[in-house]
Each structure stands twice: as C-alpha cells, then as structure tokens.
Structure 1
C-alpha cells in the first residue's frame, strides 16, 4: 500500500502540465495517432496549459490577497476557516483510499465509454482528486469502510461524467470549444442548481429584459465595454474595496485586464494541439463503435474561466460572498482560500445565461449562500479528515472547511447518503433512474435499426 501511495504521489507531483502531455501522448499512440503526431499534440496541449495556468496564477495571486484584505478590513470573525481547494486536495490525496482512485476512475470511465453510458473521455487526471475527496469523506463517515468509500468515489465520478455530457453542447456553443466537455468536480457541481436557476431568472419580468453580456456592454459603453477594460475597471474596484493604496489598486486593475486579454489566446494554443488529437481519437472510435461521432475530450474547466463574463461575474461575487458570510444566520464559515476560485464555480452558470452578467450574479448569490451552509455542515468531517492527514489547523480556529468540497452539492449529497439512515433509499432511487435511462437508450437504438 505504501509503495502504491508513493507511486500515486509521484505522478501527482509531476503536476498537470507534465501529466497531461505524457497521458495524451500515450493515449494518442494507443488510438493510432503515431508517435510524432501524438507527441507534438501532447506537447502543444501542455504548453497551452502552462500558459493557461500562468494566467490563472496571475488571477489567483491577485484575487487571493485582495479577498483576504477585505476580510481583515471588515474585521470578520467566524469559527470555521475556508482553507481552499489546494489544502482540500492535499487532505483528500492523503486518505487511505486515495491510491485506488486514479486506476479505478480510469477503468470506470473506459467501461462507461464502451457501454455508451458516457460520451466523455476524462483525461483530466489531476482533477480526479474531487472523486478522492468524496471517498475520503465517506471513509470517515463510515468509520473506515474502504468499500463504501470507493463506491462513493465511483458514484461521484459517474454523476460528474453525466453532467459533463449534458453541458458539453453549451461548452461548444457558448465557449466555442468543439468536441470538449468539462468534468471538473467543482464546476459541474455548481451547475446542478445553477443552470436551472439561471434559466428561471432569465424569464422573470424586468430581469429578462436586462441585456448584460460582453457584446451588449461593449456596444453600449464603447471602449470601456471591451473585455480588457471591464477587467481593468472591476480590478480597480476590487482593490479599492480591499483598502489598497493607489499603486496596489493600479496593479490589480492591470492584472485583471491582462487576464481578460491573455486567457483566450492561451486557449487557442491549447486547441491547436487538441484538435488533431481529438480527430484521431474520434476516427479510431468511429471504425470500431457505433455513434462515436460525439465523443468528448474531458478537460479542466480552466479552459473557460478566462471568458470575460466568467471573470466579471466572479469579481463581483467575491465581496458579495464575504458579505453573505457575515449576514447569513447559522453560517460559521469564513470565506478565504476558495474566494479566488469562484471563477470555476460559476463558469457553467455564465454559459447557461448566455453570458448575462446580471443573471449570473443573481444566480451566483443563491449558490454561494447554499455553499456556505453546506460548508458549515461538513466542517466537523473536514476537520477530522485534516487531522488524520496531519494537516496543520490554522491558528485562531479549531475547525476548517472549504467552498470547493465542503460547499459542493454533489459531494454533500453523496456524503448524506452514507451518513443518514435513509441515505440508501436515495442511492437505490439514483441507481434505478440510471438503469431506466440506460435501457431506454438501448431500446431506442434497437427500434432505430
């Protein structure tokens, strides 16, 4: 077990920018792409992700301190601190069941592809940590039951893949990413409630008439409506709310403008390598399986967080989330580490509202409210996991949580299935619905023949 954990940890330590080119080169060769073509695609995609991660680092390294400065400036004192997704991921990978997650998730994904129960080939191995997180929570809830923990992790993966399939057309139409789905655990979880809510808000009288997508804003405000200028203005406002001096306000404003301008260009580099890889995989599958035309390549949601509407919505939601933490009765979580990654949580909501920033912000307020309450509820479990992983609890608090996993609806629901006496009823219902859906697809394909 220790050797297996060491191997898994070594792979994880390579980081996504190394793991992805290696994985894609191997997958490309397996799908008949040829070494030179597969290697070139893998390296190009890796370079694209390096560029995307550099821009995201620029985003997070500016938003994180600004959010923390706002927390300190307004003197917020709450019992549970949000340690952020990096800490949550480290705690999850330290779980005894973590070593099984990568091979198990790959096998489950392959079986689902072969049986036609998913269209997504999830090559975003780094983000398998979300499945590990659910397994780690359930491992604690069930008193160390490895089988239950692995079942929970698999269930989380299956649901994530199905939501990735469901949202793939929107990823293609709104974000212009052909043949791509986004099975990132945090992004898809906020879509479960966020997409229907966004649609409902878009039909409410008065609100439905508000046009606030980047194109409309640019037409109305000219140069100040351009994505670059939107980033500049919102960055300046965020710096002012953080209480920065003039130099720091100007720096965060320019940084947000740079994110708006650079992210789409980094995505184009990524797609340059991904298109030939995707075509080779699709061609291979078309020769061997029916209905293989719509196989999606599952990538990190980082490829869409640079959209102007996504960043604008996230920048507005950061101070709102801090305000919600103060006024919501019963909330004990101090938003902190995950404030800078709100861009990931609301990406699908923005896509569902066709980039309408007003509709997305309203939807985001509701989602962040529910996230804070769920994170509060799971704080005791999160703390136990952290202590078992020998994670140092931050000074000044006795409990931790995170918006990413503590406030994650899918994670919360699956944990409740194993935590409460009637949880198995929900599990059985989900299994029955899944089987009905699967066999109805088989019957339809049979009738079509």
Structure 2
C-alpha cells in the first residue's frame, strides 16, 4: 500500500501539465488507439495545459496588481487573505486525507462505472485536490481522517452525477461531445446556473435580455471583436486602478486583456484535438461490449471549456466586481487577491449553462460570488487550521487565510457544516446515505435514458 500511495504522490506532484499528458497517453494506449496516436494525444494535451496556464498566468500577473491597486484605492481593511488555489491544492495534498484521496476516488469511480451508476470516467486526477480540500476540513472539524475521507468521497459522487447531468448541455456550446466536467467548483456552479437560468426565463423583462460575444460581433462589426472587447475592458480596469494619467500601465493592461480573449480560445482547441481519439474509441468499445450504458464521458478539467470568447469577456468583467463585492457585502472579512486570476474558471461552465448569454452569466456569477466571499470568510478559521497542520507559513500580517475558488463553493461549505453539526456517526450516516441516493438515482436515470433511446431508434 505504501508503494501505491507513493506512486500517486509522485504523480500528483508532477502537476497537471505533466500528469495529464501521461494519463491521456496511457488511456489512449489501453483503448487501442495505437502508439503514434496515443503519443500525439498525450503531447497535445500537454500543449493545451501549458498554453492555457501561460495565458492565465499572464492574465493573473496583469490583472492581479491592478486589482490590488483598486483594493488600496478603496481603502479595504479586511483581515482574511486569499492565498489562491495553488496554495489550497498544496495544503490539501499535504494532509492525511490528501495522501490517499487519488487511489480511493479512482476506485470509487471504477465501481460506479461497473455498476452503471455514472457515465463519467474521471481522468482529471490533479483536481482531486478539491476533494482532499473538503475532506481535510471535515477531518479538522471532526478529528477523524475516516470521516474526512468519507466526506471527500461523498463530494466526488455528487460531482460525477452533476457532470453526467450537465455534459450534453455544455457540449452544445463547447462542441466537445463525450466530455464532462466533474471539476467540483465549476460543476456545482454550472448546476446552480442551470436552475437560476430557468427561473430567469419566467421573469418578464429579464428574460428578454440576451448578450453574447457572437451577437455583439455580428451587430457591432469590428467593435464587437473579442480582441476589441478585451482591450476596452482592460482600459476601464487600468484607469480605475492607476488613473487616467498612467497611460503606460493601463495601455499594457488593455492590450494584454485583449490578447487573452484571442489566445485562450486558440489554446483551448488543443484540448479537443487531444481528447477526440479517446472519446471516439471509448464510445465504440462501450457500444460494442456493453449494454444499457448510454454515452461514456471523459471527465476533464474545466480548462477544457475556456475556449469561448463570452466566457473570457465575462471573466474579465467579474474580476474587479469581486473586489467591489468584498467592499460592500455586509459581514465580509475576506480579501480577494491571489485567486482573482481564477475568474475564467468561475465562468467556464456558467456561460454554457446560460446558452452564452453574458448578461445572465454575469448576474449568476455576481450573485454566487457575493455569497462566496461570505462562505470564504466563514470557512477561514478551519482552512487556516488545516493550513497550519500542513506546515504552511501564514503571510505576515494575517492570522487567517482562505481562497475564493474552493472555499466559496456551496457544496464544500454544506459538507463541512454538516460534519460540524452532526459529528461522528450522524455525519458518517449523512455522507454514506447521500452518496448512495445520488448514485442509485443516477443509475436509474441512465437506464431510463438508454431505454428511451432504444425505443426511439427502433421506431
């Protein structure tokens, strides 16, 4: 067992840019795509991750200081520091729950696939840190690693079910059939977005507003081009941060943000190229050797869905708004900072679930982030305790830390609070029953879906 855990520890330490190409290469070989195709798929996945990360880092390095300057301009005095998702991931994988989360969740996924309780084969192993994050917080609250692990598994099962339910809807926008997103934070936001989108459909006036990058480009011509939109948004953010006289700073921000709206969709295309052979081969095998299975989805990082200009444009607008929310939301003590660059991931699945309607997407995202800063505030003491237990050194001047990406996720907060209220056996029963109910209900849905598809094809 120690060798197995050591292997997965080495794998997770490689980071997504190295780990995912290896996984894609091995899976492609196992599915019989041939060595050449398998190697190209793996390397293309590496290109996609490195390209996306380069652009996202560029975005963060540009908009981060500008956002921080806006914080200073607004004289925000908040005592909980946003340390960002990379730090949260490092802390999560450094805990006892994080040490065993990968093999445990892979086993759960295999069992669910065998018993037809999910259609998602989750290969996004790097983002299991989000599950370890939740499990680590629960372990802190309950003083039980076993309960923490059970909470992480419960979150994983829910994420797989939500990934199944949202896959086809997202594929209509991303044009990547056979891909799902069990990426916890984004799939939870996607599911909430779907419900809120349906509610907005019933509200007169609001239901008539439809703004997206494609329509803007059609109506405005060159002014609606994503490059121009990014440039204008960058100008506004730069001027708000540095003032009208600092043209050297805000012009650089404007050009950089315009470039991101061009580069991110270009990089995202490589995800589709790397996954298409695997997705097609997996579906052929399923159709040939298994019955009552329906589609099989490849579970991927939300970065795969970033190739949409509306997603990036709304993310750029959302970034300064998160700062504003930190100022105006009552009882908030959380200072958004290191995770401001993750705004594209926040928007990644909200936009497809809202049919690329930028107005609705932003409305939902702003509402969720208003709640999110409060959740990040509430979870900070437990997160800080987990950080200290993983030997994390707190930044000077701050006694509490949190992050906007995962600490603000409603599902994460609910699981932690349930464990805090029910403790011991009560929490264990809740996590176990919730996991079983979600898995069985999803299995019933899959079988009904397959039966309906067969009836339609026969007729």
Q: Output the TM-score relative to the length of structure 2.
A: 0.91
**For residues 365-406 of structure 1, what are the alpha-carbon distances to aligned partners after superposition, in whole Å with 9 as ceiling and x for unaligned?**
210111111111111101101111111111222111111222
Q: Equivalents in 2 of 1:24, 1:409: separation in Å? A: 31
2:118: which partner in 1? 118
CA distance in 2, matches of 1:386, 1:103: 23
1:84 paired to 2:88: no
Give how far 1:33 is off: 2.3
Whether the 8 Å CA contact 2:268–2:306 is kept in 1: the answer is: no
Displacement after TM superposition at 1:155 (Å): 0.8
Moved more, 33-42 or 418-427: 418-427
In the alignment, what sits opposite 1:130? 130
Asked whether the 8 Å contact 1:95–1:389 carries over to 2, the reply is yes
Measure, in 2, the Cα distance between the counterparts of 1:446 and 1:266. 38
List per-residue Cα deviations over 1:180-210 (Å, max 9, x = no partner): 1122122112223232123323432222222
Alignment root-mean-square deviation, CA = 2.3
Partner secondary structure for residue 230 of structure 1 = helix
Question: Is the 8 Å Cα contact of residues 195 and 348 (structure 1) preserved in structure 2?
Answer: no
The offset of 1:431, in angstroms, is 4.6
The verdict on how the C-alpha distance between 1:51 and 1:435 changes in structure 2, with shifts beyond 3 A counting, is closer
Residue 387 to residue 419, structure 1, CA distance change in 2 (3 Å): same
What is the match of residue 164 of structure 1? Answer: 163
Partner of 1:155: 154
In structure 2, relative to structure 1, the CA distance for the partners of 1:434 and 1:68 (3 Å cut) is same
SS at match of 2:166: helix
Counterpart for residue 437 of structure 1: 441
Q: In the alignment, is the contact (CA less than 8 A) between 2:305 and 2:349 conserved in 1?
A: no
Q: 2:267–2:307: 8 Å Cα contact kept in structure 1?
A: no
Unaligned runs of 5+ in 1: none
Matches for 1:28-427 after TM superposition, within 5 Å = 28-143=28-143, 145-243=144-242, 245-421=246-422, 427=431
Q: 1: distance between equivalents of 2:275 and 2:241? A: 39
Q: Which runs of 5+ in 2 are unaligned?
A: none
Does the 8 A contact of 1:198 with 1:349 survive in 2?
A: no
Deviation (angstroms), 1:441 = 4.5
Deviations 1:326-383 (A, max 9, x none): 1222111111121221221122221122112122221112101111111111111011
* C-alpha spacing 1:432/1:52, structure 2 compared with 1 (3 Å): closer
Q: CA deviation at 1:318?
A: 1.8
Question: CA 1:5–1:398 in structure 2 vs 1: closer, same or farther (change >3 Å)?
Answer: farther
Q: Give me the TM-score of the superposition, normalised by structure 1.
A: 0.93
Q: Is the 8 A contact 1:66 1:242 kept in 2?
A: yes
Q: Which moved more, 1:432-441 or 1:227-236?
A: 432-441
Q: Is contact 2:117–2:439 with CA below 8 Å preserved after alignment?
A: no
SS at structure 1 position matched to 2:96: coil
The 1:165–1:246 alpha-carbon spacing in structure 2 relative to 1, beyond 3 Å, is same
